[in-house]
Amino acid sequence: MYYNKVDISGVNTSELTVLKEAEKIDLLKKYQAGDKSAREKLIKGNLKLVLSVIQKFISRGENPDDLFQVGCIGLMKAIDNFDISQNVRFSTYAVPMISGELRRYLRDNNPIRVSRSLRDLAYKAIQAKEVLYARNRRECTIEEIAKEIGAKTSDVVTALESITDPVSLYEPVFSDSGDTLYILDKIGDKDSDADWVDELSLKEAINTLLPREKNILFLRFFQGKTQVEVAKEIGISQAQVSRLEKSALDRIKGKI
């Protein structure tokens, strides 16, 4: 992977330090009290957190240096907006902020154009998701996100889906002993030649039935009536209905 290399965006990853939670809180208090140097220490002490978050985005073909820099922007936003009074670990708050910044970056660089209103709604939804996660310390539902931003649930779903990265038809979904199954292999065509042949064969088979047999099948399978109800309607016994129905179905099966 890219992250085995020592240098990324001019940062020597082998020299990065990791702050303890108590050290983070202490530096956050100093920064919020006006100590600008504390902010720099917080950034440097959480760069490994940025590296860990961008790993799940590297498979999209983006330059890791660019992702790292965007992730650092998310980290700085987390530092600037973290509420010390909340009983939440800094990393719990920062990870969704970093992920959100990366998703926005990938969304804005998406080759498929999405309307501004949809992008703005998706942006609000992502922000709300981050806020709700930090507040409740659990993944939130679409309904909770919609309520948080005052939007319809269906609109939120549409907005979020509009910024989802497209998937290639040649994306592998399963591989066993070199025999790879791609998404393309899982897609069926409802209008294929085989479907047309089956439909024509069925129509021809039904046309060979007697009018009474057609009527029985219509009442049974299109109107959902029982054999007893069909028998009363056409004036024969239930046993006769059963025999005629079975005979008609057997002939249809034999024709197809």
Summarize pLDDT for 108-127 with one digit per residue, the tens. Answer: 776 556 677 887 888 888 88
Q: Which amino acid is at 54?
A: I
Q: Taking a C-beta distance cutoff of 8 angstroms, is the pair 57, 102 a contact?
A: yes
pLDDT higher than threshold 60 for residue 31: yes
Instruction: Tell me which of 234 and 174 has the higher pLDDT.
Output: 234
- How big is the CA angle at 221 (ends 217 and 227), to the nearest 5 degrees? 70
- What's the distance, CA 64 to chain centroid? 23
0.95 exceeded by pTM: no
How far is Cα of residue 86 from the mean position of the Cα atoms in its chain? Answer: 30
Average of per-residue pLDDT values in the chain? 80
Angle at 110 (CA atoms; ends 146, 132), nearest 5 degrees: 25
How many Å apart are CA 254 and CA 234, to the nearest integer? 26
- The CATH number corresponding to 2-162 among 1.20.1740, 1.10.45, 1.20.120, 1.10.3470 equals 1.20.120
Residue of higher predicted confidence among 253 and 188: 253
Rounded CA gap, 47 and 53, in Å? 10
Length of the chain: 256
Q: Which amino acid is at 181?
A: L
Query: SS3 breakdown of the chain: % helix, strand, coil, rounded to 5?
Result: 70, 5, 25
Task: Determine the pLDDT at residue 2.
Answer: 43
80: DSSP letter: H
Cα-Cα-Cα-Cα dihedral sign, residues 139, 86, 75, 12: negative
Name the residue ranges covered by the structural domains of the chain.
2-162, 193-255
Q: What is the pLDDT of residues 71-106, one digit of tens each?
A: 999 999 999 998 888 888 898 889 988 988 888 888
> Domain 193-255 is in which class?
mainly alpha
Separation between Cα atoms, residue 129 and residue 239, nearest integer Å: 63
Backbone angles phi, psi at 173, to 5 degrees: -110, -15
Does the pLDDT of residue 255 top 50, yes or no? yes
Annotate the chain with DSSP letters as a single string.
Answer: -GGGSSEETTEEGGG-----HHHHHHHHHHHHTT-HHHHHHHHHTTHHHHHHHHGGGGGG---HHHHHHHHHHHHHHHHHH--TTS---HHHHHHHHHHHHHHHHHHHT-SS---HHHHHHHHHHHHHHHHHHHHHSSPPPHHHHHHHHT--HHHHHHHHHHTSPP--TT-EEEEETTEEEEHHHH---TT-HHHHHHHHHHHHHHHTS-HHHHHHHIIIIIS---HHHHHHHHTS-HHHHHHHHHHHHHHHHHH-
pLDDT (0 to 100) of residue 5:
46
